[in-house]
Amino acid sequence: QLQESGPGLVKPSETLSLTCTVSGGSISNSVYYWGWIRQPPGKGLEWMGNIYFAGNTNYNMPLKSRVIMSVDTSKNQLSLRLSSVTVADTAIYFCVRFSSRAAFQWGPGTLVTVSS
Amino acid sequence: QSALTQPASVSGSPGQSITISCTGSSSDVALYMFVSWYQHHPDKAPKLLIYDVTHRPSGISNRFSGSKSGNTASLTISGLQAEDEADYYCSSYTSSNTMVFGGGTKLTVL
């Protein structure tokens, strides 16, 4: 199972930080890799990026300058940091387990609102 | 990387079959066999229906099937049921080592 956690409200220009706790399996399993997908209200899904347990990352180009993903194998967690947020970053953020270039397992998602 | 193109909406009656198209480019759908499809009911997490163009994960009904021709992938739902009413998204791996989604298709079961 995947479970996102973090503040539901972030101020503009600040940094959004979310954690995803992985249970029922090891985040170090090399068969899988991990990442984040978001959905702004009323809009479609947007792939943000992914990370392998060894730390290699791939990010969506429009976000690349603002996003950092990391894994903590000791805690079986992955993290997302998105800096300099604006109202356009208001979205439901999903933690995802990938395999074969597909999102096989999703967390329930967490709504993050960017507002002053 | 531009989003993949899906119809905004499709509809069908119970028992019928519908097909949702997903058009990409020579850098994604046409280039790789890494197209996947997702079902998204409101207030729930999306669910993977199809991966690698045609493969169904364990537990997914064989009423859902996928295919691809050139730069267009398709999802077919046969024997339409009321619970199939949802949003559907396609995605593809890209030559930039990224992933791109379609804009989503709202399926209405009449």
- A107 to chain B: which residues are within 8 Å by CB? 45
Residue A100 to residue B32, Cβ atoms within 8 A: no
A-side interface with B, Cβ within 8 Å?
37, 44-47, 50, 58-61, 94, 100-109
Distance, CA of A112 to CA of A68 (rounded, Å)? 17
pLDDT given at position A100: 87
A45 falls in which pLDDT band (50, 70, 90)?
A: very high
Q: Average pLDDT in the A88-99 region? A: 97
pLDDT given at position A30: 83
Taking residue B7's Cβ as centre, other Cβ atoms within 10 Å add up to: 16
- A109 to chain B: which residues are within 8 Å by CB? 45
If you compute the radius of gyration of chain B from its CA atoms, what whole number of angstroms results? 13
Q: Which amino acid is at A33?
A: Y
**How long, in residues, is chain B?**
110
Q: Do B21 and B77 contact (CB within 8 A), yes or no?
A: no
Tens of pLDDT, residue by residue, chain B (110 residues): 679 999 999 999 999 999 999 999 999 999 999 999 999 999 899 999 999 999 999 999 999 999 999 999 999 999 999 999 999 999 999 999 999 999 999 999 99
Q: Is B84 helix (H, G, I), strand (E, B) or coil?
A: helix
pLDDT given at position A20: 97
Q: Which residue of A has its CA nearest to B44?
A: A108
Q: Average pLDDT in the A23-30 region? A: 88
A31 falls in which pLDDT band (50, 70, 90)?
A: confident
Residue A58 to residue B103, Cβ atoms within 8 A: no
E strand map for A1-116: 2-5, 9-10, 16-22, 33-39, 46-51, 57-59, 67-72, 77-82, 91-99, 102-106, 110-114
Instruction: Name the more confident of A48 and A25.
Output: A48
pLDDT in tens, A10-20: 999 999 999 99
Q: Do B80 and B109 contact (CB within 8 A), yes or no?
A: yes
